[in-house]
Amino acid sequence: MKFMVRYADKIVGIFIVISLVILVFVIIMLGQSQRWFAKDISFITHMPSAAGLSRNMAVQFRGFSIGSVKNFYLTDDDYVEVIFTKALKTLSLDAFKEQMAGIYSSSVHRKTLDESPMAYKNMDDIVRNITPTARIINRVKPVYNFKAEE
């Protein structure tokens, strides 16, 4: 007695398609968490010395981390050429809406993402960096946000 599946070729085809969809989904999810698809901007600067410099170390400007060192070379004129990258922030509309919870606003949409709270420096970093020169008396929390449409 032979065992025969009536639609074996269709079942195998559906299994393969489902497997490929799952594989693509896993690759995309891993890629996002590992920054495989992230855009970085590279910068080059010249320094007189490489003392204390190493690959992947954080690049700080006025107390804020602005990127990381990718590589450095000694140039013909005895300067050190440092290549560092800055990762571009990706802003999401859902995170923008979450940040604006409790604040009345008619302008929370994709056109104003560049003005979302996540587009600016972290408040804790700012407070830490201005503490030597300023004293915070009060913090103002907005209750209404207005932006004119063009």
Please list the alpha-helical segments (H only) found in 34-134: 93-99, 123-130
What is the band of 20 on the pLDDT scale with cuts at 50, 70, 90?
A: very high
Asked if 87 and 38 touch (Cβ cutoff 8 Å), the reply is: yes
Which of 129, 97, 134 shows the shortest CA–CA distance to 113?
97
| Residue 18 binned pLDDT confidence (cut-offs 50, 70, 90) | very high
Measured between alpha carbons, how far is residue 55 from residues 41, 66, 82 in Å?
A: 16, 15, 10
CA 40, 88, 29, 110 dihedral sign is negative
The mean pLDDT value for 31-53 works out to 80
- How many CB atoms are closer than 10 A to CB 63? 10
Query: Quick one: average pLDDT of 58-85?
Result: 83
Cα(68)–Cα(30) distance, integer angstroms: 22
What is the rounded average pLDDT for all residues in the chain?
Answer: 81
Confirm whether pTM is higher than 0.85: no
Question: 11-20, 32-41, 95-104, 128-137: which range is least confident on average?
Answer: 32-41
